Amino acid sequence: MVVNQLIRFLKIQFSQVTWNTIFLLFIAHAAISWLALVGAGETALTRWDAFVYYYVVTTSTVGFGDMSPTTEAGKWIVALVQIPLGLAIFGALLGKLGQSVTKVLRQVMTGEKDFSHLDTHILIFGWHETRTAKIIEHILGDKRRMQRTILLCVFEDMEHPFLDNPMVEFARLSSFTDDDELKRVNVAEADRIIVDCITDDMTFTCALKLSPLVADDCHISAYFDDETKVEMLNKYTDNVECNSSKTAEILVRSMQDPGSSRLHDELMSTLQGNTQFSTQVPEDIGNVQFGQLFYYFKQHHNAILLAVAKDRIGLDMTLNPASDSLITTGDVLHYVALDRILHEEIDWTLVRKGKDV
């Protein structure tokens, strides 16, 4: 009865081939091999400092030949017990490793991985074959940005489109509004979010869902073709910056002021020339005149201040303010420069000492 139960138990364990099973088999096999070699008088092989090396080399069939049994009993033990059983266990280990690697690769390819461990990452909700690739290219084009992981979230049945880029992860969700799925991509710890779904209705619903779930300092950007959706979302949220197509405005500007479209492209693109960036005035800085800031940025960073906003999403923004306009803690400065100016590179003490222009 006991033997039958043991056989039934071993069959179940071998069919499941769990990591615990393999670990227990290795321990049992090593112990049996050691005890048998001790009984055979193989003292050179059974010293603890030598047995681990000998066991791994022999069981894996590498067989350097520097250590081997010398007694007849020891040779029979190695031939009939250690190597045959060890090969089976070693094969199970390789099979389990291969299975695990295949599973991980499959999860990466199909977007099934769990990303709940991520923080301060960039989330992109939505997939457009051309536009999404450009979005990621421009994010990575900012060479001085904080090195946040980009996590692309889609619901289409597709495989990882940026597998060759280690900065881009991929998640396929069943829904952009499901709480469990949003926890899987750790929306609560995201630092930046772009919502660019296949339709404006999906973008509106997704952005509305995300707004109360994100951290206070997380910034959400949402793109719409229909400007009425922008007005609606602005009524219900205060942490979503809505964008819509400016094709008509750009066409008129380029018609009336030739070259305006090129200027717009230059300001927006991180891939060539000067680009528009922003930074926030730190705490305890007091009041500083815009003219002092303008002079400092130009003289010390070859940057041009364009505008000042009172909030992160730029609803209360002043473009080209007067030189004596007061800038204070929390204001967001928008500037043009060849590269992003890191926050710690700005000498605010020197700013206060600068002259007005």
What string of DSSP letters covers 78-147? IIIIIHHHHHHHHHHHHHHHHHHHHHHHHHHHHT----TT--S-EEEE---TTHHHHHHHHHHH-TTS--
Query: Is there a contact between 111 and 82 (Cβ–Cβ < 8 Å)?
Result: no
State in words which class domain 122-245 has. Answer: alpha beta
Contacts by 78-83, CB closer than 8 A, 24 or more apart: 81/32, 81/33, 81/36, 82/29, 82/33, 82/36, 82/55, 82/58, 83/58, 83/59
Domain 2-109 has CATH 1.10.287.70: yes
**pLDDT tens digits, 214-252:** 999 899 999 998 888 888 898 889 899 998 887 788 888
The structure tokens 């923004």 sit at: 317
Q: What is the pLDDT of residue 355?
A: 47
Range with the lowest mean pLDDT among 98-112, 169-183, 264-278? 98-112
pLDDT band at residue 12 under the 50/70/90 scheme: low
Q: Where in the chain is the domain with CATH 1.10.287.70?
A: 2-109
Instruction: Dump the DSSP string for 318-351.
Output: EES--TT-EE-TT-EEEEEESS---GGG--HHHH
The SS3 of residue 8 is helix
**pLDDT tens digits, 88-115:** 787 777 777 777 777 777 777 888 999 9
The answer for residues whose C-beta is within 8 angstroms of residue 321's C-beta and 6 or more apart is: 290, 307, 308
**pLDDT tens digits, 38-66:** 888 887 888 877 888 888 888 777 777 77
Q: Provide the CATH number for the domain formed by 274-353 in this structure.
A: 3.30.70.1450
Q: Where in the chain is the domain with CATH 3.30.70.1450?
A: 274-353
Q: Where in the chain is the domain with CATH 3.40.50.720?
A: 122-245
